[in-house]
Amino acid sequence: MTRRRGKGDLLRQALRRENTTGLVPYGEMHFDQGFVTKFYGRASNTFSYRDELELALQVGRGLIKPFWYGSIFTTPDGDQVDTPAKVETMIVRGGLAMEGVTAAETAEIRQAIADCQEAGVVAMAQLGGTLCYAWRTTGFETLMTALYSEREFAELILERTVERQRRCAEALADCGLEAIMFSDDISGNGGMFISPALFRELIIPGYRRILEPLVQAGVQIVFHSDGIITPVLDDIIACGIAAYQSIEYGLNDLRAIIAQYGDRLSLWGNVNCDVVHAGPLEELPRLVEECLAAAAGFPGFVIGTDNSIFEDIPVEHFLAYHRALAAAGVAVEPLA
């Protein structure tokens, strides 16, 4: 199929740790839909994946990821499921389908894949994990306390989360996606939210169950989490992931991560998103060059922020970030 000027091939090579072109791809993992429409001065309620594809081609981003599937449950009234008595009544927040991906959504994803193939861009979806989605169902303190004092309740919430995410994974695997982002914030600035031993006991089996159909289908899985996840990263790799995204700046040493995991993982991110968000913008060239220097010679590196391009990031801040990427030789498209 004819490719235009998309940068998807560079991402594919980096995912396989085979990018020897000398060009570092720009793989910003998430653009908030509100930012995309703000960038073009469009109404936010008109967003479609085509807006994101348009922006990806304009800036030289090698992917789009407009589809999101995560299991956050509420009571029918929209409240948190913070007691065992509420479990049997819970629904997916926002009225999403309990079965996961609807027929209409499947059709849209397949059309997006076809459009992205024609444009030379990788179409991706985001699939939620379990730990942070479970606490968004119950409340953080409720889940963390229940893990030790109401274990049956905590395990039931995790089980329900895993089962719906498994259904989503089966549907996404059937859509023909090349890659998905599997996201679960399991750590914060102070370290992991639960011990590595408890994580291996309660969370890793769920990851395996969710990811199994994607791994079997040959879908490349990019794992995302904030914070420091190295205490359990080997365990997550064993679930079948191909890449690790975020590598949060200030908490992780990109050189050390590459040295320890670069033989098994493509590594994405590490430009400080806080500076893109709030400045000082004059720091951006240094931060970009710092990432490129740390990853020099590594064929699996994809540069991007250590989180997202959020809706409230000013467009001029993004443009300054993009100029820093272009000036450093990242494979982006020039902007006026």
For tokens 């998905």, name the residue.
Answer: 180
Tokens encoding 233: 């990263």
Tokens encoding 22: 């000398």
> How is the chain split into domains, by residue range?
8-327
Name the nearest CA neighbour of 87 among 30, 160, 36: 160
CA separation, residue 170 to residues 31, 114, 176, 234 (Å): 25, 20, 11, 24
Rounded to the nearest angstrom, the gap between the alpha carbon of residue 199 and the centroid of all alpha carbons in its chain is: 20
Instruction: Kindly report the pTM of this predicted structure.
Output: 0.95
Cα angle 205, 211, 214; round to 5: 160
CB atoms within 10 A of CB 207: 25
Angle, helices 49-59 vs 103-119, to 10°: value is 20
Tell me, what's the pLDDT at 5?
58
Do residues 238 and 205 lie in contact, with contact meaning Cβ atoms separated by under 8 Å?
Answer: no
Tokens encoding 80: 């948190």
Name the nearest CA neighbour of 328 among 58, 121, 26, 14: 26
With residue 69 as reference, give the H or E element that holds it. strand 63-69
307-319 burial, b if ≥16 CB within 10 A, otherwise e? bbbeeebeeebbe
To the nearest 5 percent, what fractions of the chain are helix, strand and coil? Answer: 50, 15, 35
With H, G, I as helix, E, B as strand and everything else as coil, classify residue 122: strand
Tokens encoding 269: 């991110």
8-327 under CATH 3.10.20.30, yes or no: no
Cα angle 236, 292, 268; round to 5: 25
Q: What is the SS3 assignment for 224-256?
A: ECCCCCHHHHHHHHCCCCCEEEECCECCECHHH
Instruction: Report CA dihedral (78, 79, 80, 82) to the nearest 10 degrees.
Output: -140
- Average confidence (pLDDT) per 10 residues, the chain, 336 residues: 68 97 96 97 95 97 96 94 93 83 94 96 97 97 96 96 96 96 94 96 98 98 97 98 96 97 97 97 98 98 97 97 98 90
With H, G, I as helix, E, B as strand and everything else as coil, classify residue 67: strand
Angle, helices 315-327 vs 33-40, to 10°: value is 90
Tell me, what's the pLDDT at 96?
77
With H, G, I as helix, E, B as strand and everything else as coil, classify residue 305: strand
